[in-house]
């Protein structure tokens, strides 16, 4: 359980640092909102590169037979 909290915190720290770096780049480029353009481009890349749509191949579960009434 401790590892889960460590990696969650590490991910938050890395994300915060990257967001700060993108914000600083946006200010230095004099392009307002450039950090959001980069974030949107990453989101589009993730959407395009996904393997399959959510409804294409649902997990199959074996159908359970109804329990017969005891005679």
Q: Which contiguous run of DSSP H or E holds residue 3?
A: helix 2-29
Q: What's residue 2's pLDDT?
A: 79
Residue 64 domain-assigned?
A: no
């990257």: which residue's tokens?
A: 18
**What is the full per-residue pLDDT of the chain (71 aa) written as tens digits?**
778 899 999 999 999 999 899 899 999 999 888 888 988 998 999 999 988 666 665 555 556 555 666 55
Find the domain containing 28 and state its range.
Answer: 16-42
CA distances from 15 to 9, 39, 64 (A): 10, 11, 45
pTM score of the predicted model: 0.53
Cα separation values, 50 from 15, 42, 43, 45, 53, Å: 21, 12, 11, 9, 8
Q: What is the pLDDT of residue 45?
A: 94
**Domain count of the chain?**
1
Q: Assess if residue 58 is contained within a domain.
A: no
Asked if residues 34 and 22 have their Cβ atoms less than 8 Å apart, the reply is yes
């Amino acid at each position: 359980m401790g590892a889960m909290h460590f990696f969650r915190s590490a991910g938050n720290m890395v994300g915060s640092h990257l967001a700060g770096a993108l914000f600083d780049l946006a200010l230095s480029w004099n392009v307002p909102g450039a950090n959001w353009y980069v974030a949107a481009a990453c989101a589009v890349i993730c959407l395009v590169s996904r393997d399959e749509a959510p409804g294409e191949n649902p997990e199959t579960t074996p159908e359970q037979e109804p329990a017969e009434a005891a005679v």
